[in-house]
Amino acid sequence: MAPTPSDTPEPNPLSLRFCGLEFATPLVLLSGCVGFGEEYTRVEGFSHRDVGAVCLKGTTGEARAGNPPHRVCETPMGMLNAIGLQNPGVDHVVREILPRLDRTATRYIANVSGSTIEEYARVTARFDDSPIDAIEINISCPNVKEGGVAFGNDPDMSARVVEACRAVTSKPLITKLSPNQTDIAGNARRCIEAGSDAFAVINTLMGMAIDAERRVPVLGNRQGGLSGPAIKPIALLKVHQVYQVCQKHDIPIIGQGGITGVTDALEFLIAGATAVGIGTALFYDPLVCPRINAGIADYLRRHGLPDVSALRGTLQTEGASTRS
């Protein structure tokens, strides 16, 4: 018997396809902000159905204790963090943590970090043999064999990491691009050639805080990654620049950096992001996601757009207004 209208589910205007994966909403919980996924489920009122995907905490080949304290410092309109990739190592994550995750309502993305290209490849290969949905490569880590130069700030090194990871997995590869470089669009182009399926734009900017009375750095690591609303204008520009490369190859972008509300998320989608990452905002508004989802759905309705994908890359640059 044919289904009656009441039996037919309403289409979800927030759902989208990302590297062949179905996301229920365009919101992605960012790596380092929700632990290994299960921590966030302890928040009363949280539902996995509010997010399209969850990026797990950065994972290395072996367990790491992380940086000495202090590790977090609040700044005007943002936060500095220098956690130092504290994690139990990839074998523990795959054996003990992944089986406990509820994979019925959202997607899970592993975050791979390393100090050498070989470590990136080894961790990626371990995740390839797991139920994880996709793999994010954090190329902002320093290469110990190259004197501590961050992979993500050198296009050649970025491409080498992506190429090594691509060789050991068939899962979608998402390259997390650093804003601390000269030509982020050129780096993206090299990563696409090396096999990247998608990008996360951007990672944190490097910053510092000083205790003026004691005249010492606040963070035990001296420097840390700046996130939060302060970096939003930079992140928007970087997404727009990377989108100019990605649209030619139909490569999706997770736009991230300072998104705290509906308008922020809409701006990133308009600039070229397929999905948007929520990170620092979760620390002071753990239930921000349903509010952003409702706002995006309302915007789509008011503007006569069928779904969130129709909003991607719709920035009008011709005849843009100027301010004197």
Find the catalytic residue in 73, 141, 246, 289. 141
Could you give the CA distance from residue 297 to residue 310 in angstroms, rounded to a whole number? 12
User: Which DSSP string do the residues of 210-236 spell out, in sequence order?
Assistant: EETTTTEESSTTSEEEEESGGGHHHHH
Buried b / exposed e over 103-129, threshold 16 CB at 10 Å, is eeebbbbbbbbbbbbebbbbbbbbbee
Alpha-carbon gap, residue 282 to 260, rounded angstroms: 8
String of DSSP letters for 88-133: --HHHIIIIIGGGS--SSSEEEEEE--SSHHHHHHHHHHHHTSS-S
Q: HSE on the CB side for 159, CA within 13 Å?
A: 14
Whether 137 and 169 have beta carbons less than 8 Å apart is answered as no
Q: Both tokens of residue 8? A: 């037919």
3-class secondary-structure state, position 161: helix
> Which residues in 179-218 are b (16+ Cβ under 10 Å) and which e?
bbbeebeebbbbbbebbbbbbbbbbbbbbbbeeeeeeebb
Query: 285: which residues sit within 8 A by CB, 6+ positions away?
Result: 260
Q: Is 145 helix (H, G, I), strand (E, B) or coil?
A: helix
Say whether 141 is catalytic.
yes
Q: Which residues are catalytic?
A: 141
